[in-house]
Amino acid sequence: MPSKFDIVGERHAIVEFQAILRFINPLDPGGMSEVAAAIDRNAQTMELPAKLVVPTFKFELGGGGGGPSISPPSTSFGFQRFSPDGKIEARIAADSNSISYLSREYPGWDVVRTTLTDFFGSVGQAFYKRSQLIGGVLIQYANQFSSINVGYHEVSEIFREDSPWVSGISRASPDLWHSHVGQFIPDDHCKKLVNVNVDVVLASTPDREGDFTEARVMIVAAKQFDVPGAKPLLLLPDEAPEQIAAHFDDIHALEKEVLRSTLSDQYLIKVNA
């Protein structure tokens, strides 16, 4: 059956990939100086010339009748690269509790895995040698499907009829819709988290005449170590790169499993899954 929707590339529908390593406790100022220096070194290696510094605030509600309080600002250090049309192509960043990597170019898991192992292994050293406990490891894929013809087009052909990750009521909708499905999956020493968000919208671009239908499918796969029923994770400095790679491999395999149970066979073929 001819497809009503195209994917963004020849081999996949991925428009954005993100990975995050989150720590339970904030890093001390000395550690943050090391993180900033490591971010700078990685930015040069990864050819990310534009500096990003974002002050962040944390709002907390006090107990025992206390009012809301604002913690001192912390700083996120980062670098990014822009495409000719002004969109972010890639970005690395870190603050006192997390390290993140974002890319809108996806060359395949083997290449990305090497990038993540090297990046998180080097920037994370300031955390690891201070025995900072890891609270979560996360990856996120944003996939995009665009209608070949203009106007609104019903999108059910993209999804499996029996998918547990897409609302059945939404999937059959003759109009624009949103679906959000999430689940914790118990595992040894942690809880795995899956979130699947689907947005069906009318979109427009300068190179197309008229609005067209766009289905955006975001899949989040994570390991949570700081939730009830889980145990915080400690990475040893010498073993951290290999441990990080193993955890990312695990949640990447989970994401692939979720993708296969979300998209129809026709579209799994289109995205080479």
Signed CA dihedral, 246, 252, 255, 259: sign only? negative
pLDDT digits (tens, 9 = 90+) for 67-103: 554 555 556 889 999 988 888 999 999 999 999 999 9
Quote the pLDDT of residue 1: 67
pLDDT digits (tens, 9 = 90+) for 8-66: 888 899 999 999 999 999 999 999 999 999 999 999 999 999 998 665 544 444 444 45
Quote the pLDDT of residue 100: 96
**DSSP output for 145-158:** EEEEEEB----GGG
pLDDT digits (tens, 9 = 90+) for 93-135: 999 999 999 999 999 999 999 999 999 999 999 999 998 999 9
Quote the pLDDT of residue 40: 95
Quote the pLDDT of residue 9: 82
CA distances from 130 to 27, 76, 98, 125, 214 (A): 9, 19, 14, 8, 46
Quote the pLDDT of residue 77: 86
Q: Percent of the chain at pLDDT above 70?
A: 91
Residue owning tokens 């991925």: 14
Which one, of 161, 221, 171, lies nearest residue 194 by Cα? Answer: 221
